[in-house]
Amino acid sequence: SKKLLRNIRLDWKSEVPRVKNKLKGKKKKKKNNKMGNQPNGNGSSSVIRGRFSDYYVSGDRIGSGTFAVVKKCYRKSEPSQAFAVKIIDKRHLTPRELVGLKYEIKILQTMEHPSVIKAVDVFEDKKKVKIVLELCEGGDLFDQMLKMKDKRVEEDKAAWITCKLARALKYLHEHYVVHRDLKPENILFTKDGKIKITDFGLAHYLKLPAAFHSMHTCCGTPHYVAPEVLGSEEYGIEVDFWSLG
């Protein structure tokens, strides 16, 4: 929408000079690369096994997949605040997909970055898993590109978006998380134009301490996947930056 694009424009205009000055005047500081607990081999994680009764779900469907649907929901104690709830029917998932789901939940619960979507609550019963997420009403980057002139992003806006995503990827990699499916459809905008990376269904937690080139699973989306992912050799965190490019 025009309002969203105005918000994006205002945000990048104020952000780009600050980033340039920071890059020129400061040296990068080493960060303490600590990571929270990972799901173990049987896929266990900090999923909350409780009732979903604190929320009510509206009939609005935001999105859907093979075994999941995303709807708008509200917390009963705070009806003015809207969220998104991803409802997964785990009865149709393979054991490997269940482990992947647990990894996704762990990432959504533990990552704390302004450009990474956050899980508010997670509930599980015998049939379904419900992940309550921040609501991004601005749509995804792909949809926003279609609304722009000539269906392309202007250079200065693209620089601002790239800067935000690069920072988010740096944070994820410092916490040993590789997304592996970065694409315009997985980059969401909030109502006020903030960027959120979403969909960690193919993400991978790296094992410590030196496993940055230990992945070998062929996954991702054809137009955005790095060449080494399609080969037979192991690959590393660089595949996310290929997708970003």
Place of tokens 């939940």: 105
Q: Is the pLDDT of residue 30 over 50?
A: no
Q: Which residues lie closer than 8 Å to 75 by C-beta, 6 or more apart?
A: 54, 55, 81, 83
- Cβ atoms of 8 and 16 closer than 8 Å: no
- The total of other beta-carbon atoms located within 10 Å of residue 108's CB is 22
- Model pLDDT for residues 204-216, shown as the tens digit of each residue: 888 765 566 678 7
Third-level CATH fold of 2-28+137-244:
Transferase(Phosphotransferase); domain 1 (1.10.510)
Nearest C-alpha neighbor of 189 from the set 142, 224, 235, 241: 142
Superfamily of domain 55-133: Phosphorylase Kinase; domain 1 (3.30.200.20)
Position 46: which residue type?
S
Q: Hey, which residues are catalytic here?
A: 181
Query: What pTM value is reported for the model?
Result: 0.76
Give me the sign of the Cα torsion angle 15, 17, 20, 23: negative
- 128 marked ligand binding residue: no
Q: Is the pLDDT of residue 67 over 50?
A: yes
Least confident segment among 12-16, 68-72, 213-217: 12-16
Structure confidence at residue 209 (pLDDT): 52
Average pLDDT over residues 229-236: 84
Q: Is the pLDDT of residue 60 over 70?
A: yes
Give me the sign of the Cα torsion angle 154, 155, 156, 159: positive
What are the extents of the domains in the chain?
A: 2-28+137-244, 55-133
